[in-house]
């Protein structure tokens, strides 16, 4: 939903590191009847698909020029499901390092959004090595260049050390993981933590120090406009075939 709203405004570049191919659904309209039944409640008039570059990252395209796609407005999805854990770590490490070394001009406005899904895959226990360190560097310094980071994982405690310390906005959806529940309890008290395991689908606890004196809001997110499912293989091949792949020199 966050990415959809940013794309609707136009002018920004969104780069998605997609380990499972789920984000390819952006190019197709939502056909899920359960979601569409909620459109009236949120004042939504209809479904929407979004134009996107879909790039299938393999051993031959690991050196893709991420800077080329950052300079293009709109959505680019790097589909990473064919990479081994070692290759995934290497690709994310290489990409974030290339962005860091470019040293964009400073700005207070958002220019680019980098989305990292399934962040737990970058942890050492899941095969990660260097990328997690590079991500820590990114959360410390990318903001001054107008580069936002949207990091997604199954549990908030997957975000370690300085990465967790530099998160500006947290969105906690329903979780029965005791680590997440304890974290909310320590920060806001048991009256909030007791709700985490009981949140209905679509309702999340949103926390940002710039608002409400740092106390959390409970926000009901609207349904998606695009398809929540990955493209089938036939459609994927068509989109991948017509996407120009630019490799770094």
pLDDT category at 103 given cuts 50, 70, 90 is: confident
Q: In the chain, what are the helix, strand and coil shares in percent, each to the nearest 5? A: 40, 20, 40
Nearest-angstrom CA–CA distance, 122 and 243: 27
pLDDT, mean over the chain: 94
Task: State residue 48's pLDDT score.
Answer: 97
**pTM, rounded to two decimals:** 0.94
Mean pLDDT of all residues in 148-162: 88
Compute the radius of gyration of the chain from its Cα atoms. 18
The percentage of residues in the chain with a pLDDT greater than 90, rounded to a whole number, is 84
Mean pLDDT of all residues in 65-70: 96
Residue 159 has pLDDT above 90, yes or no: no
Place of tokens 């490799």: 247
Place of tokens 């952006």: 26
pLDDT category at 162 given cuts 50, 70, 90 is: confident
Task: State residue 5's pLDDT score.
Answer: 97
Residue 200 has pLDDT above 90, yes or no: yes
Task: State residue 126's pLDDT score.
Answer: 85
For residue 241, how many other CB atoms are within 10 A of its CB? 9
């Amino acid at each position: 939903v966050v990415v959809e709203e940013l794309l609707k405004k136009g002018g920004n570049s969104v780069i998605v590191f997609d380990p499972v191919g789920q984000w390819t659904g952006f190019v197709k309209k939502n056909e899920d009847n359960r979601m569409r039944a909620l459109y009236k409640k949120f004042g939504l008039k209809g479904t929407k698909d979004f134009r996107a570059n879909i790039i299938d990252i393999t051993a031959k395209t690991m050196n893709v020029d991420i800077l080329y796609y950052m300079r293009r407005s709109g959505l680019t999805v790097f589909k990473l499901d064919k990479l081994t854990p070692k290759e995934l770590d290497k690709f994310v490490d290489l990409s974030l390092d290339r962005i860091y070394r470019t040293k964009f001009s400073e700005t207070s406005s958002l220019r680019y959004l980098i989305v990292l899904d399934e962040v737990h895959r970058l942890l050492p226990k899941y095969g990660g090595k260097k990328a997690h360190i590079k991500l820590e560097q990114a959360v410390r310094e990318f903001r001054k260049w107008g580069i936002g980071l949207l990091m997604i994982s199954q549990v908030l405690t997957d975000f370690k050390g300085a990465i967790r310390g530099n998160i500006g906005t947290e969105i906690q959806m329903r979780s029965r993981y005791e680590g997440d529940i304890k974290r909310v309890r320590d920060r806001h008290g048991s009256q909030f933590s007791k709700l985490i395991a009981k949140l209905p689908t679509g309702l999340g606890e949103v926390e940002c120090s710039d608002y409400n004196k740092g106390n959390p809001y409970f926000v009901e997110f609207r349904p998606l406009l695009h398809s929540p499912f990955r493209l089938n293989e036939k459609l994927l091949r068509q989109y991948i075939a017509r996407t120009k792949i630019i490799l770094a020199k």
